[in-house]
Each structure stands twice: as structure tokens, then as C-alpha cells.
Structure 1
Amino acid sequence: MSSLSLRRLALCLIAGLACLPAASQALDAPAARIVHDGRFEDWAAIAPVATDPDDQPAGAVDLQALAITNDEQFLRLRIAFADVVQLQENNDLVLHIDTDADATTGQPVSGIGADLSFAFGSRSGTVVVDGSSIAVRHAPLRLSWAPTFSAPEFEVEIALDAVVGGAPVFPGNQILVALATSTGERLPQAEPGAAYTIDRATALPAYDGPTLDRSPESVRLMSYNVLRDNIFAGAAREAFFRLVHAIGPDVVAFQEIYDHSGAEAAALVAEALGGTWYSGDAGSDNLLVSRWPVTLERDLGGNSAFVVQTPAEWNHDLLLVNAHTPCCNNEDGRLDETDRYMQFVRQVKEGSIPGIAPDTPFAIVGDLNMVGTDRPLRTMLTGDLVDNARYGPDFAPDLDGTDLTDALPLHLGAPAAFTWYDAGSSFPAGRLDFIVYTDNALAMGNAFVLFTPHLSDEALEAAGLLATDTGTASDHLPVVADFVSIRYQAATPEAPQRVTVRVAPNPFSARAVVSIDQPRPGPVTVEVYDVLGRRVAVPFDGRLAAGSQQVPLDASALAPGVYLYRVTTADGVAGGTLVRR
């Protein structure tokens, strides 16, 4: 292998990308099923088409690697940087795509004819059609990126069927892609652009995403920012009725209800769904509506906490922190409010909040406006507070002394995770709304984001929805998770957790694979329990070699629902939740 190949191999290893020798990097990757969620495990098999060393001064955009693939609908890019970048503003990075691989058309840019150019920092671009430049934002391109907060890498999607000025943006399959800044940083460095052939022929496996179906024996929680009381009148009200009827929530955490009370919100939901509904209103725009009584309301300085008296079979209440942290450039406000509600979570665990048992399971839900740094999210997940002088010591927030879990609900009908969309805004679709929970006491079953344009005509008709409903009701989307109370703890906290376990796919229809990575050979037992703690299956009981091993899991004999698995080895115990569809 040449020294250049070795350098490229080292660079893509540093970037965490799939790595192939330089000679192989010119080969096109086939189409791939990528979920647009700001996580990159599904990019592991996609080799970078271009890499670059750390060669820019501190504070400047320093490109590191570019990978390209596509599916039936989108061209997909993975862009890695040498340092953290806020992609949606405060940078001079421009994406250039020669969409017909013809240097004589488009805008001349370093040897390519850029038919599409998009400046991330200003969230604006141009498309060249018949020699004329047409200004565009994200909407006609269906362009977006994830995550929405600053990060060292992003995934970008652009619709392959986009039309601008009456002409298709991607008229053929051969394209060239380049990234450049005003200070001379460029990727690729040596070639005019990274060549890629759009694969429109490969039949990809169907998107195995969530469904509207409710997980058995679960409480369905919905978080919904309703755009300044929008759902209380007119067409938005009718769209909301259809949405909430299709979803069928048990508990609704509303944000941005400023001009109506909790009782009025409960009356609206009761009109839509019937039955008796209770409300929680601590004085902010964050209200709670529940099928069961709300026994505690607490103002947390712009955010709210509520305790719901859940069904008797749960044997305990449910604590919900309903958050709506400040928007846009108010990063300090987001950090301060996150610290404040996490201080409350710590105080609950310490037993210092009257009316809430220290072992009460909880979830943090709402519109977190994650558009600055990832620091507020890290504080929420890990209990690492920013202002310890004001809000006290750091702590492990889950009931078993570990981090909280991000539910990361995905879209019904499409491999996406965004929870906010406004075609008229300069900002593209993004994931602003979250459900984070204690997985030591709550098992999450089904979870989804509802964006009605992503549903097929058949799915819309079956659910009683219109394709325009989510856009009519609000600019945010309903975010939903089904939770079951866990009476059996799948892992012993005191056991050394030297073994790592992963189940995929999860949720699954009938069969999955349990991947077990253990440091030495030895006995291994894989057990499956129902949520009442009864063992219902033993998929494996024997010896496995050291390293990564796979055990097939056949759950075809189990009823659909939420289960727990436990893997016991000589080096520790690990476990988690299974969802059988």
C-alpha cells in the first residue's frame, strides 16, 4: 500500500468512517438504507470518497472526510470535520454539486460546473437552470442535515426528485461533489470533485420503522408543541382532532399553550377523544393532560414537573418533566433551565421533594430547541450540570446510577427523526423535541414521530388523517412513546459490566440477533423475561468464544409486546428491552 493510501486509511479511521484502500475509494457505494437521525452506525459500510488532514487554523472549518450514498428518494452525504462545527450558522462552508457531471454547465467552481451550490452558514443556495441562477432555500430541495446542534460530523440529505425552475436538479446519475470555504479549505483537494454514480437500480429492503400500533399494557405518552395555542381554533383544531384520534395518547405534554388553561386543554382533548381527562398547569406554557389524576404540579422556572397517578398495575406514579427551553441563540438560557430542572430530578432522587417517592420512574419530554451546542442534551442525559455553584453537584440521573436514555423516536413511513418543519423558514427540518427516560424502571415499546406527508395514501385513510394535518396543526410534530412499568431489573448494578450486548433489529417481527462481546471465553446464558419478571425463553445456554459472538433469537412463539433480556457471563451481566411486533 502506498504512503498516500496509508494516510487516507489513517484519516478515515480517525474520522470513524468505513475505511478502504485509496484505490477502492473511487468505487461507487451502492444505494444504502440510511436513517436520517444524526447518528452514524448505519454509515459503517460506506467508505469515504475523499479525506483530508487537519490543516486549518483553530476556529476555521477543517474538513476531514466525505462519504456519499443514496436511497430511492435522497442523495445522502456524511461530512466529518476535525473539530466541532455549527453547520446551520457561523461558518463559510459551501456544498457544490455538478448534478450532470458536465463542467460546461452550471457555475464554474474549481474545475466543475456546479449546478447546485448551497451555503450552510447562510442556509441559502443557487440552482443553475439553462444558464440562469435561481436562488433557493432548503424547501424545494427537501434539504436537511442532522444533528441540528454543533457536532464534529453531520449527515445531509437532498431529494433526488427535486425540481427547480421547472427542471430536475438531478437529471442523470453521474455527479461530482465538492466542499469548499472562502479560506481555501476544500474537499477533495486533488480532484475537481468527488465522482459518484447515483444508484437507482438497487432494490433496498423496506424501511422497518415504527407503526401506529400501541405496545400492549403500555401508557402512551405524547409530547407536542402546538405553536402558540394554534390547535384551539379553525383548521388547526380540526387537524389536531384527527391527529390525536389517530395516536390515542393517555398522557399529553403540551408546549406553547399561553392563552388557555390546563382545564381548557383537557376539555379540548376530551372533546376529541371522549372520556374524563385531568390536567396539570404549573403556570408556564407547558401543560399536561392525562387520563389519570395529576397529583403534583411544580413550576421549574419556565418548565414544569407533574406527577401522574398511573394505572394500578404500575404500582407507582409517573413523574414527567415537561420542558420548553429557550429558542435560537439563547444558549445560556437553555443551559440554565436545563440545570434547573435536572437539579429538581436530583432532589427527587435524594428524597427531598415532598409528595414524590425517590424511586418514582420519570421521563423528560418537550421542545428542547437543540440548535446550539449539545451541552444541554449532555446535562440531561448524564446529570453533568454546568453551573454547580448555583444548582449543586453532578449526579447519575437514572434510578440505577447510570445515564438516562434518549428514546429517539423515528418517523412513521420514512427513515427520518426530525420533529420540526417549516417550509417557509430559512432553517431546514430538525430534531428539536425529545423524550428521555429512566430505562431502569420504564421499558419503552413503540415510539414514533408523526409527519403526515410521510404516510402513504392507504395509511392516511386507515388512520383517518389528511396529508396536510401535521403542517396545519403546528410547525412541530407529535412525538410519541409507549412505556411499560418494569418490575424486574434486567441487570445487577453491582456486577462488573465488562460484557457488551446489542440486539438487532429491535423492535423486530419474529427473529433477531443478540451480539455479545466478551473479553474471554466462558459460559453464557441468554434469557428473556416478560414485564412481570417471568422467564419466557432461554435462547442460549452454553459456552462462547472471546470477542464478538452472535446468538440467534427466535421469538416467533412470543406474543407481541415488550420483553426484557438478560445475558449472564463470567465477566458480568447485561440486559435491556426487547420489542416484539
Structure 2
Amino acid sequence: MSIYSEIMKNLNNYYYYLFFSIFITTLHANAQSAPITIDGIFNDWTSNLTTFTDTNESKDGIDLLEFQVTNDAEYLYIRVKANKEFDLTGDDPILHNFFLYLDTDNNANTGFKVRDDYGAELSIEFANRILYNNFSGTPNPQVKFADIDFFSAPTVTSNEFEIAIGRDAIPDGINPLFPNSSIKILLRNRENFDWLPNLNTVFTYTFDDTPVPSYTPIDFDKTNTSFIRVMAYNTLQNSLLDSNKLLSYERIFKAVQPDIIGLVESANTTTTYIKSLFDNWLPLGNSNGWYVAKHGGEVTVSKWPISQTWNNLTRQFPVLIDLPESYGTDLLYTNAHLNCCGADAARQDQVDQYAAFILDAKSPGGTVTLPQNTPIIYSGDLNLVGLSQQLNTLITGDIQNTNTYGNGGPLDWDNSNMKEENALQSDIRMNYTWRSNGSAFPPGKLDFIIFSDYTLTSEKSFIIQTEVMSNSRLNLYNLHPFDTATASDHFPVIADFSIDNTLSSSEETILTSFAYPNPVSDIINLTFGKFNTYSIIIYNHIGLQVLSTSIKEINHKIDISHLASGVYYLKIQDKESKTKILKIIKK
């Protein structure tokens, strides 16, 4: 659009507005308080809450369709819905110029003159993350998200978002943001001149201070000692090497008592150093102590042996964990730290890699083959702050670069989607895992746990932020008020899992052993039902033993090039004396 056309379009809107300004409709909303959770899941936004729906109109680009409003004692909550996905706090690659205006004193003659019917004390320009505090004479007109106690979800692109703004906020340190019980709300996409509500309509909301049910804090303790506790934690910029932070880290790890930990941003540490920390903080009382494996900045710590690792994925580190016999299976755990910030293309390439890795691992004869129904967990700081497709790929296996990574497909064993665990903060109704009050970005969910829910059940999950915990809760877990802020700008994410033993019991794992190719010319590839000790015996067609070996691994190759062509029988026996016999044809 030319500059002249843009000017004329603005003038036409302006004159239209002036002509009809005397016909202003004021909508007074009947408020209803509600316990909203800021987690990017909208089922708590029920139809009985105050809703404003836009008139039927056609707009290019992002068309704002409706918003809902409610509150509790602490926050004003706003849910916004549009016709298509966009990034709330950025305009790349989906162009928008979304503004939220709050006339918080309900007086059109004060604040920033948005329209004759709105004088905004607070203006938020989301695409550029600029907030204006428009109180008359305020010394600090531009403020940060932290100054208004702002939270939103989801962090990735979506066609709807939920927002919380603190009712007790004092952005400039002088003027309370909400001096009155009634406010006026106005939304606008300046990219296409979309108003919500439209010109000549005013939306007024009055707070409802009817108490809502309080949030029940999440207990840190396992409800069953057999559950597997996984912890994902970004230890900011090698901060485990900072002696001033170690006491905070120690208290956090002792409070959590994890079984498997995925650490990221720990490139400068060594496996020996990390092992010494955990052996000191959480002694296991056995001869080996903790097991540690490292891939760049991704460090995986496990109380059980790490029997196999794969180092060929970018910023993602799959390992096979040799769980105790009682679990009847091993566990594939991937610790990830995807590229940050605006690197949508790089993140998509990385998750495409991972989806291809899992699809290969599920299929016999690939680079890696997992026993049927091996539990799968993927966690870490995924930096999902752009297109939602990256999260979609991790859940559905929808590979975008099929030329490089092949066709996608369902990643779970029953050919369904993986599940993303919606962990919440242990002490507040929020799911953000990163917060930096000095940043231009609001708190967001960057750290995830995704798993195969065909074989695993999430029994409990939570995020720890000591700064929002009460003194009684801190004392209960021997934590200090600023432990998480001292340690990192990310918060630890924890989930407890149980395993469906009917799918992966010890009795069944020997039956999932197989050999390929068959018929075979020279090399038999063996994949076993789980990591174990196996005796392998090959008999010829008349029952004479022609080869015998003993191994302890999950994948093995046997050279039979010296054997004559014919039919052979391969006997596999594990240390529990469970046996399987396979028929092999030697070409």
C-alpha cells in the first residue's frame, strides 16, 4: 500500500468515526469472578463468563473475533480469540500489530486518547513488546511486563490467548493501575484497522470480588516409590560451576529427589564433576552412585545405568536407561535444548530429526531398533516461542522436511500422538517455566516434558518457583525464598511416571527379540526385548550346535558367513532362563 493510500485510509476511518461519534453504545458487562489458570488450555473459560463477540466482518490478516473477561482477587483475566494463528509477542512470520488498551479509571478524558470514548491508562503494543503507562504526569511512561504483573499463554502461535494482569500493580511506583472498580477494554489490530469493540461502542467491565476457590499447592512427595521421577532443568550458562549458586541447587535437588535429570546449558561441566555433585547431594548408597552422560550442553543424570547413547541429533541427546528388572523394560530418555528465540527454521529441523529418529527406532532393521513398547520421554528447554508447528511435530510426528527426514507418522507405539504434560507451578495457577523481570519478554513456558502415554502414565507434575511459595511451604521442603531465582532464570519441571507392566513385563520382553534380515547372507542383526545378559546358540537343521556366544546388550551382530547355506535355529536365552527360538535361513 502506498503512503498516500495509507493516509487516505486513515482519514476515511477518522471521518467515519467523527460522523458517527454522537451515536455511542456503551456495553456494561455483568462480571463474574472465576479461578482461571494461565496455561494455554481454555476449558476454564466457560460460556457464562463475560464475552464480547465482534460483528460479522471481513478483514485481511488477523481478524479479532471475540474476547472474554473475568477476575479474581489478584488478577484481571482476558481471553482473546482471532480467526487464525499469530504470535502474541512478535509479528514474525505472521504480521500483526495487536494492541490492548485499558481505560482503568473509566474516564475517557484522562490517559492516552485512543478514541473520544477511550482514554487508556495502559497501552500494550504486543508485536514490539512495548507497554505505555499513560497516567498524567507519570515519570516513567514506558514500563515492562513485570511492572504490571503480566502473564500470558500459550507462548507459541495460536488463534487464542489468555492474559493475566495484576490488580495491585503500580507500574510507575506512584499510581495504582486499577484505581476504580470499573474499567473499559479495547482491542485493536492496527495492521488492518480492526477494532474490538468497533467504533462507537464502548465495553465497560466491573470487577466482581466474590471469592473464588483457592489454589491447592502441589505436594512434592511421590505418592508411590516405584514411580519414575523425571526432572528437566536449564542450569543457566554453566551456573552449576558457580559456587555462589550451589547451595540453592543443592536444596532444590534435595527437595525434588529425582531419579532422572536432564540438565541443559552445562557445556563447560564434565561428567566427573556433575557426578560428584549428585553423589554428594543425593547419595544412592551403592558402589557406583549416579550415572552421567554428556552431549554438548545436554547432560543426563540417572540413578540407573545408561546402557546406550546416541550423539547424532542436533541439540538433542537420546539415551537408553537400564531400569531395574521390576519395571520389565528399559526407558528411552531424550534431553533436549532446541535453538533459542527467532530460530523457527532451526528448531523445526531439530524436531524433524527427532521424529525421524523415533520412527526409525520403532521399526525393525533401522539404524536403531527399540523393543516394542519401550517407554519414551522427551524433555528440556525447547525454546518454543514461535510457530506452534514445532510442538505439533514433537507430539504428532508431522515431519516438515520430508525430503531429508522422510515421511512423518505417529510416534507412540499404538500409532497415536505423544502427550505433552501440562505441568503447573506448585503454588500458583500458572504454567510458565521461565521468568526474567528485567526482560522485554513476559514469563513463558519454554521447558516441556513429552512422553508416550501408551506405556507411561503421568501421576503427578509440577514446576518449582520458590519466590511464590509461602514460608510454611518453603520450610516444609527446606527451601529458601530466592533459591530458584538464585540458581537460574528457568524453573525445574518435574513429572512422576508409572509404567504399564502389562505391555512391557519381563515375561514378554524375550518374546520381542528378533533377527533380520531373514533370509540372511552374512550378518544377522539381533535386537533384544530389553537390555540384559543373553546366551545365543545356533543349531543346524539336524540339531548340532554350530555357534555359541554370551552377550550383554540390546543390539548385536553375528557373522555367519562361514556357515553353509541352509536352515538354522537361533536360540536366545536371558539370565532368567526365558527362551525364544528363531528359524533362520542362510542363503
Amino acid across the alignment from 1:115: E
**Secondary structure at 1:340 match in 2:** helix
2:150 matched to 1:113? Answer: no
Residue 355 (structure 2) aligns with: 342
Residue 238 (structure 1) aligns with: 247
**Secondary structure at 2:275 match in 1:** helix
Query: C-alpha displacement at 1:54, in angstroms?
Result: 6.0
Note closer, same or farther for the CA distance 1:135–1:259 as it changes in structure 2 (3 Å cut): same
2:218 matched to 1:210? Answer: yes
Query: C-alpha displacement at 1:204, in angstroms?
Result: 1.0
Residue 80 (structure 2) aligns with: 79
Which whole-Å CA distance do the structure 2 matches of 1:54 and 1:488 have between them?
Answer: 54
Residue 278 (structure 1) aligns with: 290
Query: C-alpha displacement at 1:104, in angstroms?
Result: 2.5
Amino acid across the alignment from 2:472: E
**Secondary structure at 1:270 match in 2:** helix
Which whole-Å CA distance do the structure 2 matches of 1:266 and 1:403 have between them?
Answer: 35
Q: Which one is further off, 28-37 or 41-50?
A: 41-50
**Secondary structure at 2:134 match in 1:** strand
Amino acid across the alignment from 1:112: Y
Residue 248 (structure 1) aligns with: 257
**Secondary structure at 2:90 match in 1:** coil
**Contact 2:355–2:408 under 8 Å retained in 1:** no
Which whole-Å CA distance do the structure 1 matches of 2:180 and 2:440 have between them?
Answer: 28
Residue 518 (structure 1) aligns with: none
Unaligned runs of 5+ in 2: 1-24, 505-587
**Contact 2:87–2:158 under 8 Å retained in 1:** yes
Which whole-Å CA distance do the structure 1 matches of 2:185 and 2:244 have between them?
Answer: 43
**Secondary structure at 1:334 match in 2:** helix
Query: C-alpha displacement at 1:179, in angstroms?
Result: 0.9
Residue 160 (structure 2) aligns with: 153
Which whole-Å CA distance do the structure 1 matches of 2:424 and 2:200 have between them?
Answer: 37
Query: C-alpha displacement at 1:241, in angstroms?
Result: 0.9
Note closer, same or farther for the CA distance 1:314–1:489 as it changes in structure 2 (3 Å cut): closer
Kindly report the root-mean-square deviation, in angstroms, between the aligned alpha carbons of the 2 structures.
Answer: 2.1
Which whole-Å CA distance do the structure 2 matches of 1:246 and 1:56 have between them?
Answer: 54
Note closer, same or farther for the CA distance 1:191–1:145 as it changes in structure 2 (3 Å cut): farther
Residue 293 (structure 1) aligns with: 305
**Contact 1:263–1:278 under 8 Å retained in 2:** no
> Residues 310-325 of structure 1: matches in 2 within 5 Å?
310-325=323-338
Query: C-alpha displacement at 1:368, in angstroms?
Result: 1.0
**Contact 2:230–2:495 under 8 Å retained in 1:** yes
Which whole-Å CA distance do the structure 1 matches of 2:56 and 2:358 have between them?
Answer: 41
**Secondary structure at 1:364 match in 2:** strand
Note closer, same or farther for the CA distance 1:383–1:143 as it changes in structure 2 (3 Å cut): same
2:278 matched to 1:269? Answer: yes
Which whole-Å CA distance do the structure 2 matches of 1:471 and 1:30 have between them?
Answer: 35
Deviations 1:395-426 (A, max 9, x none): 21111111111111111111110111111111
> Residues 92-241 of structure 1: matches in 2 within 5 Å?
92-110=97-115, 111-132=117-138, 134-165=141-172, 166-182=174-190, 183-191=192-200, 193-200=202-209, 202-208=210-216, 210-216=218-224, 217-241=226-250
Note closer, same or farther for the CA distance 1:193–1:239 as it changes in structure 2 (3 Å cut): farther
Which whole-Å CA distance do the structure 2 matches of 1:46 and 1:478 have between them?
Answer: 36
Query: C-alpha displacement at 1:247, in angstroms?
Result: 0.9
Deviations 1:21-55 (A, max 9, x none): xx998442311011100110110234453222464
Residue 332 (structure 1) aligns with: 345
**Secondary structure at 1:164 match in 2:** coil
> Residues 1-12 of structure 1: matches in 2 within 5 Å?
none
Residue 447 (structure 1) aligns with: 461
Query: C-alpha displacement at 1:323, in angstroms?
Result: 1.2
**Contact 1:25–1:49 under 8 Å retained in 2:** no
* Bigger Rg, which one: 2
Which whole-Å CA distance do the structure 1 matches of 2:60 and 2:193 have between them?
Answer: 14
Instruction: Return the match for 2:45 from 43, 46, 54.
Output: 43
**Contact 1:54–1:82 under 8 Å retained in 2:** no
**Secondary structure at 2:237 match in 1:** coil
Deviations 1:139-193 (A, max 9, x none): 1111121111111010011011111222211122111110123342111114454
Which whole-Å CA distance do the structure 2 matches of 1:46 and 1:237 have between them?
Answer: 49
Query: C-alpha displacement at 1:221, in angstroms?
Result: 0.5
**Contact 1:284–1:303 under 8 Å retained in 2:** no
Note closer, same or farther for the CA distance 1:28–1:269 as it changes in structure 2 (3 Å cut): farther
**Secondary structure at 1:41 match in 2:** coil
Which whole-Å CA distance do the structure 2 matches of 1:24 and 1:93 have between them?
Answer: 23
Note closer, same or farther for the CA distance 1:55–1:85 as it changes in structure 2 (3 Å cut): farther
> Residues 499-510 of structure 1: matches in 2 within 5 Å?
none
Instruction: Return the match for 1:485 from 488, 492, 499.
Output: 499
Note closer, same or farther for the CA distance 1:402–1:209 as it changes in structure 2 (3 Å cut): farther
**Contact 2:32–2:50 under 8 Å retained in 1:** no
Amino acid across the alignment from 1:63: L
Note closer, same or farther for the CA distance 1:379–1:415 as it changes in structure 2 (3 Å cut): same
**Contact 1:209–1:415 under 8 Å retained in 2:** no
Which whole-Å CA distance do the structure 2 matches of 1:325 and 1:163 have between them?
Answer: 36
Residue 472 (structure 1) aligns with: 486
**Secondary structure at 1:80 match in 2:** strand
Residue 390 (structure 2) aligns with: 376
Note closer, same or farther for the CA distance 1:126–1:348 as it changes in structure 2 (3 Å cut): same
Note closer, same or farther for the CA distance 1:144–1:193 as it changes in structure 2 (3 Å cut): farther
Deviations 1:183-206 (A, max 9, x none): 421111144542111122x12112
Which whole-Å CA distance do the structure 2 matches of 1:484 and 1:77 have between them?
Answer: 37
**Contact 2:274–2:292 under 8 Å retained in 1:** no
Which whole-Å CA distance do the structure 2 matches of 1:441 and 1:386 have between them?
Answer: 27
**Secondary structure at 2:347 match in 1:** helix
Which whole-Å CA distance do the structure 2 matches of 1:221 and 1:140 have between them?
Answer: 34
Query: C-alpha displacement at 1:303, in angstroms?
Result: 1.1
Query: C-alpha displacement at 1:337, in angstroms?
Result: 0.5
Which whole-Å CA distance do the structure 1 matches of 2:470 and 2:389 have between them?
Answer: 37
Which whole-Å CA distance do the structure 2 matches of 1:365 and 1:241 have between them?
Answer: 21
Residue 580 (structure 2) aligns with: none
Query: C-alpha displacement at 1:355, in angstroms?
Result: 7.2
* TM-score where L is the length of structure 2: 0.76
